[in-house]
Amino acid sequence: MSHFDWRKSGACAGHDEPDIWYATAGSTQGRAEQREAQAICYGCPVFERCGQWAMETHEAWGTWGGMTEGQRRKALRRRGIRLLSPEPQPVRTLQTIWDARTVPLDGGHLGFTGAIPVSYAKRSYTPQQIGYELDRGRPPSGLVRARCGVAGCVLPAHLADQVEREAARAAQTALAS
């Protein structure tokens, strides 16, 4: 018999802004994101199970079952349970996302694991866009494609945006004439 995983039924599963569930109350934007996450939680079919799980496991991070980490900590203190302050989370950047989700492929290529697109700073990125921007220090212009022809390759040296592809075509045309 298969075990039901309530997390797959959550309103947060596959949400287009997953960062809101881990917003911190340290800024006006963070508090607004926490309220947005809570509003989504309140309409979730597994709302109570999620909150129960977070309380039982003493989950230190994020909004679960409509409760922020601070609200859970306060509720647990009322029950006589004191949590240690959580370790500070590393700052999430495009580089940390890249480092955590790229894997070497055969033949010197590089792959990307996990859900696509990636949500970061209220924007969606493809793995190719992340690799291009980290390598070139600027956002790409138009579509980013791998020039190597290997499906799923995100190695920055193999990527080109629209401007680079047009420049390469112009150079080939000039050489051919």
Per-residue pLDDT of the chain in tens (177 residues, 90 and over written 9): 345 677 788 888 877 777 788 877 777 777 888 899 899 998 899 989 998 888 888 887 889 999 988 898 888 888 887 766 656 666 788 998 899 889 999 999 999 987 788 888 888 899 999 999 999 999 999 999 999 989 889 999 999 999 999 999 999 899 887
- Final residue of a structural domain among 21, 54, 78: 78
Residues 66 and 115 in one domain: no
Residue 85 located in a structural domain: no
Residues 129 and 164 in one domain: yes
Written as six digits, the tokens of 77 are 């203190």
Same domain, 74 and 98: no
- 63, 41 contact by CB (below 8 A): yes
Asked whether residue 119 is assigned to any structural domain, the reply reads yes
Residue 63 belongs to some domain of the structure: yes
Query: What is the reported pLDDT for 84?
Result: 62
* pLDDT reported for residue 86: 58
Does residue 73 share a domain with residue 98?
no
Q: Do 74 and 103 have their domain in common?
A: no
CA dihedral 149, 152, 158, 164 (to 10 degrees): 80
Q: Is residue 86 part of a domain?
A: no
Q: Which domain holds residue 47?
A: 6-78
pLDDT at 1: 36
pLDDT at 170: 93
- Backbone phi and psi for residue 7, each to the nearest 5 degrees, phi listed first: -65, -30
Counting the structural domains of the chain, the total is: 2
**Domain for residue 1, yes or no?**
no
Among 49, 78, 107, the domain boundary falls at 78
CA pair distance 53, 55, nearest whole angstrom: 5
Q: Are residues 47 and 119 in the same domain?
A: no
Domain match, 62 and 35 both? yes
- Answer whether residue 33 is part of any domain: yes
Residue 73 and residue 106 in one domain: no
Q: Strands 118-120, 123-125: parallel, antiparallel or unpaired by DSSP?
A: antiparallel
Largest CA distance in the chain: 81
Per-residue pLDDT, 12: 86
Domain final position from 23, 43, 78: 78
Say yes or no: 108 and 154 in one domain: yes
